[in-house]
Chain A
Amino acid sequence: MEQVMENARRMLADWKGDSYAFGFEVMSRVGDYAAKFGRKALLLVADLGEPWVSGPLKAVTDSLLAKGVEFEAITGARPNAPREDMYRLALHVARSRPEMIIPVGGGSTIDAAKASNVLATYGPAEAKASLQVPEAVASSIDPYFGTGNVTKVKEQTKKALLPMIAAQTAASSGAHLTKYANITDLVTGQKKLIVDEAITPQAAVFDYGVTLDSPINLTLDGGLDGIAHAWEVFMGATGQAYYARMKEIAEACLRLIVYGLPRVKVDPKDRQARLSLGLGTDLGGYSIMIGGTSGPHLGSFSLIDVLSHGRACAILNPYYTVLFAPKVEDQLSVFAAILKEGGFIKAKTAGKKGRALAVLVARGMIQFSKALGFPVTLAEAGVSKAHLKRMTQAAKDPQLKMKLQNMPTPMEAERGDVDRLMKPTLEAAFTGNLDLIPAAAG
């Protein structure tokens, strides 16, 4: 495993260069980055006031003080980054007029910070002129959902967002490294996504030591999210120019998380396993900067009232794996080997191909989830038939179209693919019956 970890470190360093500090005892690097951007920072801190955050927060604020950066700290976002929290953060960014934003927390606070930066920077007149949206929606975050809309406004207005230094505290989404912001409408129960290079934090710090005190469920969810990132992008990489690079990243990511997660469940203070998870989930973040996630992520966006994101993706991924079988032969052999090494596939994989191999991998993934004590069907997890309907409905939303396009066999809602391919796959995930999954075009 040492060699895999070393490779992971190299890949992350090659990718982010000096703009990313990761490993143990690195939180003090926040001050070094901050000094490059100015003298006044707004800290958005997840669970501000809770005991678990006081240690990492102190390390951050000490490092800012040491560099002469003044700061103000306010509470970050709740889980899933609700729209209301983003609204509050945007108001604080606007009134505080900082030179930089420093979210200290997990993916939700970092995502909400990204979106609030957009909302506080651009006015409705600018959104209306740059994105040709009606007056009524121009003052909201809605026009920025989808791909590349922040960049369009940035280029038209020649106005940059505030610099952001993301201090990650959870091994999960890779939000500190990526161009994504997931925002949730708690009233409708639907997540939507901003995908834009312009919102990628200028610098990031992830002290894996902080995760030693993370709640175990948060850790397990985060690890599963990391797997989902690497696996979905890897499956979608067939025929792409970046396939070889993605294969290297995904192989390391999956191996690190499959190794680390069960160990952390047994001993949450296992530093080696925490390191493994930190590196693995960071590579998951790297994955989603190379390609996009697809069906399982899309489905999870409609399940926020019943399932955490990581668990939702973990339930859905085995079923999509079978759906995509004809297009992901090489990927299946990679993941099969990793799951077999971990003891989650007992059957022989040699000589297996296509759907038969996909079924073995799917069963291995299900076995992995069972070992973590997680539900393995949507029904078992408390998902209702109404949720299934919501999932297929959301898949037809044009602002989430990129998720359909990212699939190994890209789907077109207009062509009826959602009802023909996705719907029975979700039925399979609901019941646990892999036989319900149709054969997608090879």
Chain B
Amino acid sequence: MSKKILVVDDDELVLIAISELLTPSGFSVTTCLNGPEALERVASDRFDLVILDVIMPEMDGFEVCQRIRQLDSYAETPVMMLTAKSAEEDRQRGLEVGANLYLPKPIAPRRLIALVEEAIK
């Protein structure tokens, strides 16, 4: 059974690109345009990896990550944060709210695929 990935980003074109980039590698990709929608999805489904944007309207990626971590079923699930906020204090905050990886945008597509494969190996 293919591994399931949830990608959350307020840029629909990013979601399309990541989805189409990862699907040929055998992953099942679900996308959400905002934090509240993402929280609904994780509450009703089980994902093997969550890729989160940080700067989003309504609820930022830090809060989404924090809330995901409060769910027992997601205590160990890898969470990858991809963001334009690359300052050290932002990275620190990302790790504090429970992200396993905090990566600055842009990231080379090949690196993204490699990290996804590594994270859910």
User: Which A residues have a C-beta under 8 Å from some C-beta of B?
Assistant: 74-75, 82-84, 86-88, 90-95, 115-116, 119-120, 122-124, 127, 138-141, 185-187
Contacts and interface: CB of A to CB of B under 8 A. Distances in A.
Interface in B77-97: 82, 84-87
Contacts of B21: 91, 94-95
A87 B106 contact: yes
A84 B17 CA distance: 13
B14 A91 contact: yes
Contacts of A86: 106
B68 to A, nearest CB: 22
B18 A91 contact: yes
Interface in B60-88: 82, 84-87
Contact of A83 (B84, B103, B112): B84
B109 A94 contact: yes
A86 B87 CA distance: 19
B110 interface: yes
B101 to A, nearest CB: 11
A370 B13 CA distance: 41
A92 B108 contact: no
A65 B21 CA distance: 26
Given A84-B105, A87-B106, A90-B106, A186 B13 contact: no
A103 to B, nearest CB: 15
B111 interface: yes
B14 A83 contact: no
Most chain-B CB neighbours within 10 Å: which of A93, A115, A139?
Answer: A139
Contacts of A185: 84, 86
Interface residues of B, number: 23
29 contacts: A75-B13, A82-B84, A83-B84, A84-B11, A84-B84, A87-B14, A88-B14, A88-B17, A90-B109, A91-B18, A92-B13, A92-B17, A94-B21, A94-B109, A95-B109, A115-B106, A120-B108, A120-B109, A123-B111, A123-B114, A124-B111, A138-B111, A139-B108, A139-B111, A140-B104, A140-B107, A140-B108, A187-B86, A187-B87
A82 B87 CA distance: 16
A87 B13 contact: no
Interface string B18-35: 101100000000000000
Given A87-B82, A91-B109, A119-B106, 16 more contacts: A83-B84, A84-B84, A84-B105, A87-B14, A87-B106, A88-B13, A88-B17, A90-B106, A90-B109, A91-B14, A94-B21, A120-B109, A123-B110, A124-B111, A138-B111, A139-B103
A87 B110 contact: no
A232 B17 CA distance: 40
A87 B107 contact: yes
B111 A87 contact: no
Nearest to A120: B109
Contacts of B20: 95
B20 to A, nearest CB: 4
A49 to B, nearest CB: 12
A83 B104 CA distance: 10
A82 B111 CA distance: 20
B109 A141 contact: no
A119 B84 contact: no
A140 B104 CA distance: 7
A111 to B, nearest CB: 13
Contacts of A90: 106, 108-109
Nearest to B14: A88
Contacts of B84: 82-84, 185-187
A73 B11 CA distance: 16
Contacts of B114: 123-124
Nearest to A116: B106
Nearest to A96: B20
Nearest to B104: A140
Contacts of B108: 90, 119-120, 122-124, 127, 139-140
B17 A139 contact: no
Nearest to B22: A95
